[in-house]
Chain A
Amino acid sequence: MENEMTLSFAAISENEALARMTLTFFVAALDPTLEEISEYKTVISEAVTNAIIHGYEEDRSGIVTVHAALDGREVTVTISDQGGGIENVEEAMQPMYTSKPERERSGMGFTIMESFTDSLSVDSGQEGGTTVTFKKKFSPVQETCSSVG
């Protein structure tokens, strides 16, 4: 199956749920398992939250853009912002690294994203904002299940 979508929204925390929900519906036809879908939602939530609180420092006029493309049972999702960017991506991706310890961040976002995806890349410069791209392949639907229900 091939499909594609783009969603842009204001950098406000209410929209984290909007992004999760929209991207969940986008892959619903693949009938992922509950665990696959909740891992996928978590990754989206991590990246969108990062764009809002780190990229835009909660400046509500920022715009976050999410693009998703389906190729067979694999989805490729890109989450981008035009915010402040990451100075040192390698350091930012270390487990427990956070630039905002006072804000109850645990610094586990990137570690969680890496563990719940098949591949993850982060492209950031101090001027051009940040783009996070991940791929996740959903396991094939079990034949034995199709007759039940």
Chain B
Amino acid sequence: MAENCRISTTFVEYKESGKRPLNYEPKGGIHMNQITLTSGGIVIVRPAGELDHHTADSIKREVSRLIFGGKASAVIWDLGSLQFMDSAGIGLILGRMRDLGAVEGGTVILNPSPTMKKMFELSGLGSHLLEGTQEDAIKRLGGILHGK
């Protein structure tokens, strides 16, 4: 199928997410969100499925815990497998930037969809956006965290 053709968008969307429409928000789906901590003190958050007011809370709790526990000084938001996000995602990221406090610039937003990208730009987070791999994001943070 040609990439830009829209043969049944809805179907393609579900097919890409590997979910069935009727199983839209599986119980425990929250566990599909991956949160990992690197030895360098970077939290890598890779949310999956849909990030809204209902699903943002558990990610918030976990990432805040790592920051306030002194274990993390930077966050990479890898949005490559996120199907949907509304302003709850912006609140989530801005909130963790606040948690990070003094650690200026310790936030990278990786591979958002075009729609998410527009939302981040409207919210003044454009300078944190990056297209690339997690390694690219870590490199960018390395420059920010140790470069001065």
A53 to B122 CA separation, bound complex (whole angstroms): 22
Measured between C-beta atoms, what is the minimum distance from A39 to chain B in Å? 5
When distances are taken between beta carbons in the complex, the residues of chain A under 8 Å from B9 are 28, 31-34, 37
B2 touches A46 (CB 8 A): no
Interface size on A, residues (CB 8 A): 41
Please tell me if A70 contacts chain B, counting CB pairs below 8 Å: no
A49 to B91 CA separation, bound complex (whole angstroms): 13
B119 touches A142 (CB 8 A): no
When distances are taken between beta carbons in the complex, the residues of chain A under 8 Å from B146 are none
B54 touches A17 (CB 8 A): yes
Please tell me if B87 contacts chain A, counting CB pairs below 8 Å: yes
- Given contacts A104-B60, A104-B95, A145-B5, are A17 and B25 in contact (CB under 8 A)? yes
A35 touches B87 (CB 8 A): no
Of all chain B residues, the one with the shortest Cβ separation from A39 is B115
Contact of A13 among B1, B54, B119, B123 (CB under 8 A): B54
Of residues 40 through 62 on chain A, the ones whose CB sits less than 8 Å from some CB of chain B are 41-42, 45-46, 49, 52-53
- Given contacts A45-B86, A142-B5, are A115 and B122 in contact (CB under 8 A)? yes
Please tell me if B38 contacts chain A, counting CB pairs below 8 Å: no
A106 touches B91 (CB 8 A): yes
When distances are taken between beta carbons in the complex, the residues of chain B under 8 Å from A41 are 84
B87 touches A105 (CB 8 A): yes
How many residue-residue contacts, CB under 8 A, span A and B?
110
Comparing A18-26, A77-85, A86-94, A121-129, the segment that makes contact with chain B is: A18-26
A106 touches B52 (CB 8 A): no
Please tell me if A2 contacts chain B, counting CB pairs below 8 Å: no
Interface size on B, residues (CB 8 A): 37
Of residues 109 through 140 on chain B, the ones whose CB sits less than 8 Å from some CB of chain A are 113-115, 118-119, 122-123
Please tell me if A10 contacts chain B, counting CB pairs below 8 Å: no
B54 touches A145 (CB 8 A): no
B115 touches A38 (CB 8 A): yes
Of all chain B residues, the one with the shortest Cβ separation from A12 is B54
Chain A residues in contact with chain B, CB under 8 A? 13-14, 16-17, 20-21, 24-25, 28, 31-35, 37-39, 41-42, 45-46, 49, 52-53, 95, 103-106, 108-109, 111-112, 115-116, 141-142, 144-145, 148-149
Known contacts A13-B54, A106-B90, then 20 further A-B pairs from the complex at CB < 8 Å, ordered by chain A residue: A13-B53, A17-B24, A25-B10, A32-B6, A32-B9, A34-B9, A41-B84, A42-B84, A42-B119, A49-B87, A53-B53, A104-B94, A105-B87, A109-B87, A112-B86, A145-B5, A145-B6, A149-B1, A149-B2, A149-B5
